[in-house]
């Protein structure tokens, strides 16, 4: 499989979405709303290989304008790779950067077109999504709250920190406010700003965008313990990550600090609405991230190999664990580059000496 996103060769496999492949390869393709197609941060233009992708999903048909579809527009969270071959795609921020460098005047026309397309499709788009949930196609009527909460937290995050990712502001808030159900995030304070069709920020350098899967950068846990490396919420289901952010948990460091004991995890479960078992899984990932060399992608890989805590890692035979990780990644394709046997040996050594923070 030959996948190229923003001129970056990516390791991908049939069955993955473009969004999943982009996240695993650290390509700059946004992913804010949990794969529901609401935020359109994952909008890409497919330059080659559209025939190797799944047909347009109902969500794409609802959210993308005919002009966007005709020009190769897809939502990376919806477009699944269905065949071997070559696929080339550009993300929206990358297109804007290239226009800035080659045709600055054309950039404004591009922004205006995208803004009009998005504004024209947001009403049928969200209506389509809400209808699918109510019909039980996305988990039943009970799932609607999670979908809207995910979308709402995404909107809050993007409007506050990443306006360039979404070319609309008032349209989605007006639409969600008109829905005949309670949407909790609408009560949150909105930034004072005039409604504009487009909010676009550009610079001579590559635009800074929100990370693909992740949303926030980790901070240290305490001065007397190893700190997690600079990682993010990558590997955490986006709906869960956004619930954590809404509850004020903005990093794995925050999560580890507040969820280190059972009482704290129960409190987190109550404030986020996440099951306590899910909270414990996320806390364990944060704990593993204290080991130098283990990012969130490797935490997920270790979990699949049966190692989900620091004490468990400390008991493992490095050679056996290396073999198991190779076996798991061959099936799951979780990471592009596997850790070496020497790296795993170092992880086990660190786990043996690392101060215990999490109690069970």
Is 170 domain-assigned? Answer: yes
Residues 253 and 346 in one domain: yes
**3-state SS class at 94:** helix
Domain end residue (candidates: 50, 69, 99): 99
What's the token pair of residue 41?
């941060």
Q: What is the DSSP string of 329-348?
A: HHHH---SSPPPHHHHHHHH
List pLDDT tens digits, range 244-299: 888 888 888 889 999 999 999 999 999 999 999 899 988 998 888 889 988 766 88
Domain end residue (candidates: 42, 65, 99): 99
| Structure confidence at residue 145 (pLDDT) | 52
Closest CA to 303 of 258, 273, 265, 335: 335
Residues 274 and 175 in one domain: no
Closest CA to 288 of 350, 359, 216, 215: 350
Residues 179 and 262 in one domain: no
| Structure confidence at residue 229 (pLDDT) | 37
- Cα–Cα distance, 74 to 67 (Å, whole number): 12
Number of structural domains, the chain? Answer: 3
Residues 143 and 91 in one domain: no
Is 171 domain-assigned? Answer: yes
| Structure confidence at residue 343 (pLDDT) | 93
List pLDDT tens digits, range 43-55: 899 999 999 999 9
Q: CA angle at residue 336 from 334 to 338, to 5 degrees?
A: 85
- Cα–Cα distance, 78 to 70 (Å, whole number): 17
Residues 267 and 323 in one domain: yes
CB atoms within 10 A of CB 227: 16
| Structure confidence at residue 172 (pLDDT) | 45
Which parts of the chain register pLDDT below 70? Answer: 31-39, 105-112, 114-235, 296-297
Is 126 domain-assigned? Answer: yes
- Taking a C-beta distance cutoff of 8 angstroms, is the pair 111, 167 a contact? yes
> Strand 43-48 vs strand 73-75: parallel, antiparallel, or unpaired?
antiparallel
Burial (CB < 10 A; 0-12, 13-18, 19+), residue 152, is buried
Residues 47 and 137 in one domain: no
125 Cβ contact partners less than 8 Å away, ≥ 6 residues apart: 37, 38, 59, 62, 63
What is the domain extent for residue 47?
A: 2-99
Domain end residue (candidates: 65, 99, 133): 99
Is 198 domain-assigned? Answer: no
Closest CA to 359 of 305, 315, 321, 311: 311
| Structure confidence at residue 217 (pLDDT) | 35
What single DSSP character describes residue 263?
A: H
What single DSSP character describes residue 30?
A: -
């Amino acid at each position: 499989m030959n996948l190229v996103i923003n001129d970056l060769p990516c390791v991908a496999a049939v069955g993955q979405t473009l969004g999943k492949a982009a996240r695993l390869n650290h390509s700059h393709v946004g992913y804010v709303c949990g794969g529901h197609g609401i935020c359109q941060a994952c909008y890409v233009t497919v330059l080659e290989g559209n025939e190797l992708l799944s047909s347009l999903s109902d969500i794409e048909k609802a959210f993308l304008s005919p002009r966007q579809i005709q020009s190769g527009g897809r939502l990376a969270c919806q477009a699944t790779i269905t065949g071997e071959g070559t696929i080339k795609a550009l993300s929206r921020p990358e297109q804007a950067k290239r226009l800035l460098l080659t045709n600055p005047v054309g950039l404004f026309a591009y922004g205006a077109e995208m803004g009009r397309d998005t504004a024209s499709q947001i009403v049928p788009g969200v209506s389509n999504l809400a209808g699918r949930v109510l019909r039980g196609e996305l988990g039943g009527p009970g799932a609607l709250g999670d979908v809207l909460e995910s979308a709402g937290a995404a909107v809050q995050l993007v409007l506050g920190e990443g306006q360039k990712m979404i070319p609309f502001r008032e349209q989605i808030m007006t639409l969600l406010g008109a829905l005949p159900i309670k949407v909790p995030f609408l009560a949150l304070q909105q930034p004072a700003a005039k409604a504009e069709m487009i909010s676009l920020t550009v610079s001579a350098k590559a635009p800074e965008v929100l990370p693909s899967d992740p949303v926030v950068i980790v901070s240290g846990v305490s001065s007397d313990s190893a700190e997690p490396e600079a990682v993010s919420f990558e590997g955490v289901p986006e709906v869960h990550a956004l619930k954590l952010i809404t509850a004020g948990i903005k990093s794995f460091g925050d999560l580890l600090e507040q969820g280190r004991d059972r009482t704290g995890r129960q409190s987190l479960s109550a404030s986020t609405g996440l099951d306590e078992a899910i909270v414990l899984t996320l806390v364990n990932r944060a704990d593993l991230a204290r080991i130098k060399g283990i990012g969130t992608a490797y935490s997920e890989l270790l979990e699949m190999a049966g190692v989900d805590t620091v004490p468990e890692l400390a008991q493992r035979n490095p050679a056996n664990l290396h073999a198991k990780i190779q076996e798991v990644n061959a099936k799951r394709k979780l990471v592009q580059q596997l850790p070496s046997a020497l790296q795993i040996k170092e992880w086990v050594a660190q786990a043996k000496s690392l101060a215990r923070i999490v109690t069970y």
